[in-house]
Amino acid sequence: MLTADQVAVIKQTVPALQENGEVLTRHFYERMFRENPEVLAFFNPAHQQAGTQQRALAGAICAYAQHIETPAALADAVELIAQKHVSLGIQAEHYPIVGKNLLASIQEVLGEAATPEIIDAWAAAYGALADIFINREQQIYQNQKTDFGWTGFKRFVVKKREAASDNIMSLYLVPEDGQPLQAHQPGQYITVRVSPEGGEPVMRNYSLSNRPGVDYYRISVKRELAAMDEAPNGVCSNHLHDRIEEGGMLELAPPCGAFTLQSPDEIQRPLVLMAGGVGITPLLSMLYAALDGQQGREIIFIQCALNNAVRPFGEELAALQRDYSNLTTHLRLSEPSDSDRERGDYDSEGFLDAALLRELLGERSAEFYLCGPTPMLKHTWQLLKARGVDEADVHFEFFGPAGDLAG
State which amino acid sits at residue 395.
Answer: H
The domain boundary residue, chosen from 126, 148, 170: 148
Q: Where are the beta strands (DSSP E) in 226-326?
A: 249-256, 271-276, 299-305
Split at pLDDT 50, 70, 90, the class of 212 is: very high
Identify the pLDDT of residue 298.
Answer: 97
Is the pLDDT confidence value at 175 over 90? Answer: yes
Of 29, 64, 95, 288, which one is the catalytic site residue? 95
Check pLDDT > 60 for residue 151: yes
Classify residue 404: in a domain, yes or no. no
Domain that holds residue 109: 4-148
From 231, 256, 281, give the residue that closes a domain: 256
- Return the CATH number at 76: 1.10.490.10
pLDDT in tens, 28-56: 999 999 999 999 889 887 777 767 888 88
Specify whether 125 is located in the same domain as 204.
Answer: no
290 domain-assigned = yes
Within-domain flag for 266: no
Give the type of residue at 289.
A
Within this chain, do residues 140 and 166 fall inside the same structural domain, yes or no?
no
**Checking DSSP bridges between strand 154-163 and strand 249-256, what pairing results, if any?**
antiparallel
CA 103 to chain CA centroid, nearest Å: 28
Is residue 108 predicted with pLDDT exceeding 80? yes
Asked if the model's pLDDT at residue 237 lies above 60, the reply is yes
165 and 215 fall within a common domain: yes
- Judged against a pLDDT cut of 90, whether residue 128 lies above it is answered with yes
Which of 105, 123, 148 is the last residue in one of the domains?
148
Kindly state whether residues 183 and 59 are assigned to the same domain.
no
78 and 64 in a common domain: yes
The mean pLDDT of the chain is 93
Q: How far is CA 394 from CA 381, 382, 383, in A?
A: 8, 11, 11
- Same domain flag for 20 and 143: yes
130 pLDDT tier (thresholds 50, 70, 90): very high
Which CATH number is 231's domain given? 2.40.30.10
Residues 252 and 180 in one domain: yes
| Pair 167, 289 in one domain | no
Residue 264 lies inside a defined structural domain of this protein: no
Identify whether residues 18 and 143 lie together within a single domain.
yes
Residue 117 known to be catalytic: no
At CB < 8 A and 24+ separation, what contacts does 62-71 make? 62/14, 62/17, 62/18, 62/21, 64/125, 64/129, 65/10, 65/11, 65/13, 65/14, 65/17, 65/125, 66/11, 66/14, 68/2, 68/7, 68/10, 68/11, 68/125, 69/7, 71/128, 71/129, 71/132
Which tops the pLDDT comparison, 310 or 44?
310
pLDDT digits (tens, 9 = 90+) for 361-407: 999 999 999 999 999 999 999 999 999 999 999 999 876 555 555 54
**Domain assignment of residue 183, yes or no:** yes
pLDDT recorded at residue 403: 56
Number of domain units in the chain:
3
**One domain, residues 143 and 165:** no
Cβ 36 vs Cβ 147: under 8 Å? no
Query: In this predicted model, what pLDDT tens digit does every residue of 48-98 receive, in sequence order?
Result: 776 788 888 888 899 999 999 998 899 999 999 999 999 999 999 999 999
When pLDDT is cut at 50, 70 and 90, the band that residue 1 belongs to is confident
Q: Could you tell me if residue 54 is inside a domain?
A: yes
Same domain flag for 114 and 160: no
Neighbours of 233 (CB within 10 A): 12
High-pLDDT (> 90) share of the chain, %? 82
Query: Choosing from 29, 64, 126, 137, which is the catalytic residue?
Result: 137
Q: Which domain CATH number covers 343?
A: 3.40.50.80
Answer yes or no: 288 catalytic: no
Determine, yes or no, domain membership for 308: yes
Any domain includes 403: no
| 139 and 15 together in one domain | yes
